[in-house]
Amino acid sequence: MSAHLPAGPALAYGAATAAYQVEGSTTADGRGASIWDTFSARPGTIVDGSDGSVACASYERLDEDLDLVAGLGVGHYRFSLAWPRIQPTGAGQVEARGLAYYDRLVDGLLARGVAPMATLYHWDLPQPLEDAGGWPVRGTAERFADYASIVHDHLGDRVKVWATLNEPWCSAYLGYAAGKHAPGRRDPAAAHRAAHHLMLGHGLAASRLHEAGSDAVGVVLNLAPVWPERPEAEGAAHGVDAILNRVWLGPLVDGSYDSALLALAPELGDPEVVRDGDLEVVHGSADWLGVNYYTPMRVDVGDDTETGGVGQDTSAYPGVDGLRFRPRPPVTAMGWEVEPRGLEELLVDVAARTGLPLVVTENGAAYADDVRAEDGSVADDDRVTYLRGHIEAVERARTAGADVRAYIAWTLLDNFEWAEGYTKTFGLVEVDKTDQTRTPKASYHWFAQLAHADFLRIKV
């Protein structure tokens, strides 16, 4: 068992961001183009017509942001590395200035007593790799493993906890089936092939990192409990569960894709796609599992036009006929049902299914943030209630036996929320889009109190 995962008697805390959502400076220091640069430049893809070229300007304001992390008193900071900063074309040539930025980030964290938790891929695929076919082609998985080795060779002396991918479901199914995320394709067969190559990429990268001596390599999945609204919806719920949860857990835990999934996704049974030995590469390849949870999926069938929240696009579940999502109130600004019980159930089930140590790598909420305290800061009591309820759910799951090591809040800063642009804010810290001023919200102070209390409990 890795000595590097948080393992104290109490839950450890952290905060997270992702490169494209906060860094900006998308042409600085030799960075190449990513699929998100290309996608967001296409009219109609991002609700406010924005992109990540400025975002939170974290590339330029690194120290300020690291001070905000330190001010929270958390033990861990989860960030992602932008592949196109490190390999501008996705293969071959390495850009030293890109690596130097992450040196500064990691060294800055360590100097502040915060452990880095690095995610190698949070959706910003180098555009030349998409031009060569993207995740639906096998070569992308192989290039990803090369990139993972480059990063690990450079930072592995200081970064001990690694995640390969963030939410491959979004990359595969929002990106290649629903067309709501980059690269914006609507081709279900390509999405299933992408799903396999993403997990193959994870497995190949994990092997490289293990060979190089790492013992805390994980993958981060956006899993959710899937609840049928009525008996007639059970088949559709099983289909959603296949494409959202089992397509990743099957190869990871069992070394196979199950038969109901194969019926929906015949590409996953095609020996040209899933080659001999692929599933063995993925099987057992994770030392820990990251769980990103926001909401349960309430599944129904019908012929109405009602839709669920953001990202709950029925076209992201190809082959699940008549699918409808029915989130119940209260919902967040994303239209996502607030239900901490879903997290408790999920953690208990996933811990039993995988036997792995778990980290809640993302949890948080977008709200309107329109209530102000006297000093002008955001008084986001709704976000505090959301976070508190979900942390209590994690504690209940731990009491029930789930080995959950840490809870990482999404997210440190209000940032670029993908297809929603800057219209949805999840941050503990407000970022003024005109001058980049950072102002902690009430939730930042609340979370800091919790993390500090926890820190004292462990140290005393």
List interacting residues with ligand IFM (CB under 6 A). Answer: 18, 21, 167, 292, 362, 410, 417, 426
Task: Taking the CA atoms of 30, 35, 41 and 46 in sequence, report the sign of the dihedral they define.
Answer: negative
Nearer to ligand IFM, 135 or 410 (CB): 410
Give CA angle at 424 (312, 381), nearest 5°.
Answer: 105
Helix (H) or strand (E) holding 115: strand 115-121
Residue 8 is given by DSSP the state S
Q: DSSP string covering 440-453, please?
A: E-HHHHHHHHHHHH
Q: Shortest distance, CB of residue 167 to ligand IFM, whole angstroms? A: 6
Does the bond joining 330 to the residue before it have cis omega, within 30 degrees of 0? yes
Q: Which of 358, 452, 399 is nearest to 113 (CA)?
A: 452
Q: Shortest distance, CB of residue 417 to ligand IFM, whole angstroms? A: 5
Nearer to ligand IFM, 170 or 216 (CB): 170
Q: Shortest distance, CB of residue 403 to ligand IFM, whole angstroms? A: 23
Residue 331 is given by DSSP the state B
**Secondary structure of 384-440 in HEC code, one letter for each residue:** HHHHHHHHHHHHHHHHCCCCEEEEEEECCECCCCHHHCCCCECCCEEECCCCCCEEE
The position carrying tokens 């501008």 is 88
Nearer to ligand IFM, 19 or 114 (CB): 19
Is-contact 9 220, C-beta < 8 A? no
Nearer to ligand IFM, 39 or 410 (CB): 410
Q: How far is CA 90 from CA 87, 96, 204, 336, 347, in A?
A: 5, 14, 16, 35, 35
Report residue 237 as tokens.
């719920």
β partners of residue 34: 126
Is-contact 127 118, C-beta < 8 A? no
Q: Shortest distance, CB of residue 402 to ligand IFM, whole angstroms? A: 21
- Which residue of the set 95, 167, 337, 344 is catalytic? 167
Q: Shortest distance, CB of residue 191 to ligand IFM, whole angstroms? A: 18
- Which residue of the set 23, 95, 267, 362 is catalytic? 362
Nearer to ligand IFM, 337 or 417 (CB): 417
Q: How far is CA 330 from CA 121, 192, 375, in A?
A: 32, 33, 29
**Residue 269: Cβ within 10 Å count:** 14
Nearer to ligand IFM, 149 or 245 (CB): 245
167 a catalytic residue? yes
What b/e readout covers 424-457, taking b as 16+ CB neighbours within 10 angstroms? bbbbbbbbeeeebebebbbbbebbbebbeebbee
Task: Taking the CA atoms of 128, 133, 136 and 138 in sequence, report the sign of the dihedral they define.
Answer: negative
Nearer to ligand IFM, 367 or 426 (CB): 426
Nearer to ligand IFM, 119 or 149 (CB): 119
Report residue 184 as tokens.
């914006």
Give the whole-angstrom CA distance, residue 147 versus residue 42: 28
Q: DSSP string covering 223-246, please?
A: ---EEESSGGGHHHHHHHHIIIII
392 a catalytic residue? no
Q: Annotated catalytic sites, by residue?
A: 167, 362
